[in-house]
Structure 1
Amino acid sequence: MIRTAIFEDNDSFRGTLTWLLAAHGDMSVTGTYPDARQAVERVLSDSPDVVLMDIQMPGVSGIEAVRKIREACPDVRILMLTSYEDTDKIFDAIAAGAVGYILKKTPGEKIVEAIREVHAGGAAMTPSVALKVMASFQQAKPRQNPYLLTEKEQEVLARLVAGDSYKLIAANLDISLGTVHTHILHIYQKLHVNSKGEAITKALRNGLV
C-alpha cells in the first residue's frame, strides 16, 4: 500500500485526487491539506510514503514546504503536482528535494503511475518538463569541472542531485556516513555554497553532473 499525503489549495482538484487514489487498491490517502503551513507536522503525523505538493499555496509555498519536509523526513518521496512549467520553478523544486515534477493537466492514470514510480525509487516528470530540463543541460557544456571536484566528490554531488539522503549516498557509493559528510563539506567549500539546495542548483546550472 502506497500511503500518500496531498497538499493542494484547490478544493475541487484536491477532492478529485483523493477520489482518484482511493480507486486504486494499492494506494491510500493519509491526509489532504489546503495549505502547507504545517507541512512538516502533517507529514510526521501521517507518515506517508509519497507527498503530492502544489507550488502556489497560501502562507507557505510548496517549494519551501519541500525543503522543510526533506530536512525533517529525508526518506519521504515528494512529487510536485502543479500548473507551473517554467524552468526556474522546476529547478527550484528539484533543488529543494522533490524527486518528480508533473503538471496538473496530466491524465489521472499518469499521475497514479508517477506516484508508483517515485515510490519505487525513481523520478517522474511530465514530458514537457523533462524536455526543459534536458534543454537546460544542453545549453551548458556537460560534465565541466571548474571547481576541481574529485571523482568521488562528483559522485556524491550527483547522488545529491538525484535526491538521495546521506544514508542512501553512503549505501550507493559503499562509503561511511562520516565520509559522506566530509565529501559534502568539501563540495560546499569548492562550490562556495552553504546548503544542499544551493549545491544542487549550482550543479544543475553549470552542468557539473
Structure 2
Amino acid sequence: MPNEDRTSRDGAIRVLLADDHPVVRGGIRGMLEEADDITVVGEAESGTRALELVEELSPDVLLLDMEMPEVPGLEVARRLAEREASVRILALSAYDDDEYIFGLLDTGASGYLTKDEAPYIIVEAVRGVAHGEEGWISRRIADKMVRRRRLSLERQSAELSPRELEVLQHVGRGETNPEIAEQLFISEGTVKNHVSHIYEKLGIRTRAEAVAWAWEHGMMAE
C-alpha cells in the first residue's frame, strides 16, 4: 500500500472503530472526537462487521482490536490486504503477543498500539497513519523488541570462540586475510577457516557485513 495521505477532502480523518466491548468503543470514540480533525464514522462489534463497514463507509483508518468475535483482528487485516483495501490499519489491543504484532505488521498494517497507551499518543498515531506514516509501535512493544534483539546478539557473540572474536576485530579494521595472519602469527588458511566460521555463526555472507556487525556491536571500541 503506498504511503499516501488518506484524509478526506474536507481534511477530517474518518475512523472506523472495531472492538467487541461497547464501553471501550465509547471511551475511544470520546477521546478521538475531542480532536477537531478526527471523525468516527462507525463502530464494529465483530470482525465480520468491521469488514462490512470498511466496504460501506470507506474510512481512512481502521482502529482494530485483535480479539474480535467471528473473525479475529489478524484475519480481518489479512482479508483487507487481499482485497487491496485502501484503509490504513492501526491495531489497538490489550495484547502484546508476537503472533499478533508481527502477524499484523506482515499484512501491511501501519502500527500496533496497546490499550494502556496515553490517549494523546493514540490520537497522534491515528493522525500519522492517516497521513501515510508507518511503524507506530507502543513503547512497551518497542522495548520488548529491543530486549529480544539484544539477547539474540549476545547469544551470537557468545557462540564465537575467543580467536574468532579476535579475527573479527581485525576484519572490522579492514585488514586482509594475509595481514590478519601476520598479526596473529597464524597461517592464512587458518584465518580463512575462522572467517568462514564467523560468517556461519553470525548468519552473514560477506566481509562488508562482518565489518558492519563488528562496528554495530561495539567490538571496535576495544
| Residue in 2 that maps onto 1:82 | 93
Q: How much does 1:57 deviate? A: 1.4
Q: How much does 1:109 deviate? A: 1.3
Q: Deviations over 1:145-173 (max 9, x none)?
A: 78xxxxxxxxxxxxxxxxxxxxxxxxxxx
Q: How much does 1:38 deviate? A: 3.4
Q: How much does 1:121 deviate? A: 1.6
Paired-residue identity, %: 33
Question: SS in structure 1 opposite 2:69?
Answer: coil
| Residue in 2 that maps onto 1:43 | 54
Q: Indicate how the Cα distance of structure 1 residues 144 and 42 shifts in structure 2: closer, same or farther if over 3 A, else same.
A: farther
Q: Would you say the 8 A contact 1:44–1:73 is kept in 2?
A: no
| Alignment root-mean-square deviation, CA | 2.1
Q: Indicate how the Cα distance of structure 1 residues 33 and 127 shifts in structure 2: closer, same or farther if over 3 A, else same.
A: same
What does residue range 1-209 of structure 1 map to in structure 2 within 5 Å?
1-122=12-133, 123-138=135-150, 139=152
Q: Deviations over 1:119-153 (max 9, x none)?
A: 12222111111122344455278x9678xxxxxxx
- Normalised to the residue count of structure 2, the TM-score between the two structures is 0.60
Separation in structure 2 between the aligned mates of residue 59 and residue 13 of structure 1, nearest angstrom: 18
Question: SS in structure 1 opposite 2:47?
Answer: coil
Instruction: Give structure 1 stretches of 5+ with no counterpart.
Output: 147-209
Q: Which portions of structure 1, spanning 4 or more consecutive aligned residues, are displaced by more than 6 angstroms? A: none
| Residue in 2 that maps onto 1:165 | none
| Residue in 1 that maps onto 2:217 | none
The more displaced of 96-105 and 129-138 is: 129-138
Matched length: 145
Q: Deviations over 1:167-188 (max 9, x none)?
A: xxxxxxxxxxxxxxxxxxxxxx
